[in-house]
Amino acid sequence: MYTRNLLWLVSLVSAAPLYAADVPTNTPLAPQQVFRYNNHSDPGTLDPQKVEENTAAQIVLDLFEGLVWMDGEGQVQPAQAERWEILDGGRRYIFHLRSGLQWSDGQPLTAEDFVLGWQRAVDPKTASPFAGYLAQAHINNAAAIVAGKADVTSLGVKATDDRTLEVTLEQPVPWFTTMLAW
């Protein structure tokens, strides 16, 4: 009896959010719509290259979208990149960005923005706790850059035009797009 009642209560409580945003058509809304989100604590940083704790990580995930994402079935899906090609036996990836991408201030988001972000991620001056992640993905020169032995501009990432990003790997990494989805 206790288990059945508990299951009923859990079902009821978990279904409640389904009705929270159910606003009938033609319902007048407040002139200013405000969304409040409880972070449970203040984030240590909102710098995507330096985020380490859960609160900041969740905010950054809400603010930024990567090239790809992973769906509930564990399949890599397009995000900022509408499609991609895998060339040279898995050593080169060409990502084609969606048209109309922009920053929150309305400025265009281009492939060069991804290049600069990835270069900043491996730059020892940034001191990103995840710099080694791009080295583990075997992006050309990432390990040498992280170790301070090569310049960030030698990273195997380049913008061939505003909407095309080319990534060159030192060796094939079949799970490369999966790594990008994390």
Q: What integer pLDDT is reported at residue 20 of this predicted model?
A: 58
Q: Does the structure show a pLDDT above 50 at 6?
A: no
User: What CATH superfamily is the domain 66-180?
Assistant: Dipeptide-binding Protein; Domain 1 (3.90.76.10)
67 vs 64: which has the higher pLDDT: 67
Q: What integer pLDDT is reported at residue 4 of this predicted model?
A: 52
Nearest to 182 by CA among 55, 67, 50: 67
Residue 5: band (very low, low, confident or very high) from pLDDT cuts 50, 70, 90: very low
Q: Which residues pair with 74 in a beta bridge?
A: none
Query: In the chain, what percentage of residues exceed pLDDT 90?
Result: 64
Q: What integer pLDDT is reported at residue 46 of this predicted model?
A: 85
User: Edge-to-edge strands of the sheet including 157-161?
Assistant: 81-87, 92-97, 164-168, 157-161
Average pLDDT of the chain?
89
Q: Residues 84-132: pLDDT tens digits?
A: 999 999 999 999 999 999 999 999 999 999 999 999 999 999 999 989 9
**pTM (predicted TM-score):** 0.79
Contact between 119 and 152 (Cβ < 8 Å): yes
Residues 6+ apart with CB under 8 A from 137: 169, 173, 176, 179, 180
What are the boundaries of each domain within the chain? 31-64, 66-180
Q: What integer pLDDT is reported at residue 10 of this predicted model?
A: 47
